[in-house]
Amino acid sequence: MKYPEIQNLYKYMPWNEYTKTSLEQGAFWFSSPTNFNDPLDCGISLNTKGNTPFFTDLVTTALSELGKATGNSIKDPTKIDSIKDSIQQFANSLSGNASAISNEINEAKSDQAAYEHLKEKFISSGILSLSELGDNILMWSHYAQQHQGICVELERTSTNILGSTECTLPVRYSIKAPIINARLYRIANREEKTEIEQSLVLTKAADWTYEREWRIVKSRGANSLQILNCKIRSITLGLRAKDDTYKYISSFAKTSDFEVKKATLNPNEFGLKIDPI
């Protein structure tokens, strides 16, 4: 198993009926990338530079020549013949290179089709976000209902989905966003395509590094509950968790064999202590 030092992953959750259903079914909500709270997360930037070099060079040259012919004013009668000559030269170039231009247009259409395929595959993917950390005060605030929710500790082994590097991997934090070249994606081999696809769903702004996030990615699993078949090792109650949350989790633990823990303030620093109840 890759990253054997990571034995557990954590899911922060608010306390509500959806969370109860999730626990009872052993299933978790996989979101579409389009629903993430960070609008910069999982964005697709397309680079088309160089995709139609011959046609682009042809047009660029023609426009340059036309610019020289027109000078500062297209209304100058003495420029008319030069303008006509430039336009005729461009028309001749198009006619004389019809086959090459046609090939590039077809290539461009294929690039667009590849991009649309990647985009559809990307949008339909379901993603579950987890963390290496179960005691991060910011994530308790952001994802666990301002410390009123819970944090589920899931066991990671070589035989469950959390240990499978085909669909569960750590997020890559970067200052630069991934940019996809449609043509390079189209002609890439299977391994290269996988790397490109993973770069889209696993790359996140460096500002989020503190989350130490991992993601489970399932194709065509967007916006659905998915059963993980992973053992729950513990559930931690938030610092502000209410009595009914404690009663529910304690009762649930008796039939599900996991440890119940409670987050409390660390008296010596800005942080949390996680202790068994």
Residues of the chain where predicted confidence (pLDDT) is lower than 70: 40, 42-98, 100-101
Question: Given this model, what pLDDT does residue 83 score?
Answer: 55
Question: Given this model, what pLDDT does residue 7 score?
Answer: 97
Question: Given this model, what pLDDT does residue 54 score?
Answer: 46
Contacts 24+ apart (CB under 8 A), 19-25: 19/149, 19/150, 20/248, 21/225, 22/225, 23/152, 23/232, 23/235, 23/252, 24/252, 25/225, 25/227
Question: Given this model, what pLDDT does residue 121 score?
Answer: 84
Question: Given this model, what pLDDT does residue 111 score?
Answer: 84
pLDDT tens figures, 18-46 = 999 999 999 999 998 888 877 767 666 65
The structure tokens 């259409």 sit at 109
146 three-class SS: coil
* pTM as predicted: 0.79
